[in-house]
Amino acid sequence: MELENIMSDEKEETKIVDRRRFDADGNERSTETDKSNIETTSQASKAKSLASEELPPIDFSSFVMSLATQALMQLGEMPAPPGVNISKNVASAKQSIDILSLIEIKTRGNLDTAERTLLGDILHNLRISFVKASKK
């Protein structure tokens, strides 16, 4: 069985599709069921591809910004997006900052000036926010 999310009229529906060759009695399934499953799968694939097209391309700067945003939410410096529950967790924020520090070390000499400046400024600001959050 497979769960499929289908977009229809701005609502998301979940439909369970049984792709087994035989039914519960051991009889072979008809091909009409297979055709409807293929059509449903095709619709779901189209909906997924449309959703993925709306996302901006990932580059180094957007990756660093996403980690920094996560750390700020974990520090309680930034609210989480609607529908997402991220509670303040200084230990998790420290880990996110450490990941960014590791990226800075491992990419040394391979970043352009703008990327290097962005990463350095973000780490500086996150470290200050971490110290402030740790004292509270």
Q: Tens digit of pLDDT for each residue in 19-29?
A: 677 777 777 77
Of the candidates 53, 77, 96, which is a domain's last residue?
A: 53
pLDDT of 90-113, one tens digit each? 999 999 999 999 999 999 999 999
Q: For residue 10, what pLDDT band results from cuts at 50, 70 and 90? A: low
Q: Round to whole Å and give the CA distance between 8 and 43.
A: 10
pTM (2 decimals)? 0.58
Check pLDDT > 50 for residue 86: yes
Structural domain boundaries enclosing 32: 2-53
Do residues 7 and 39 both lie within one domain?
Answer: yes
Q: Do 65 and 128 have their domain in common?
A: yes
Is the domain of 87 the same as that of 40?
no
Judgement on whether residues 131 and 108 belong to the same structural domain of the protein: yes
What total of structural domains would you count in the chain?
2
41 and 75, same domain (yes or no): no
Same-domain pairing of 70 and 123: yes
Percent of the chain with pLDDT over 70: 68
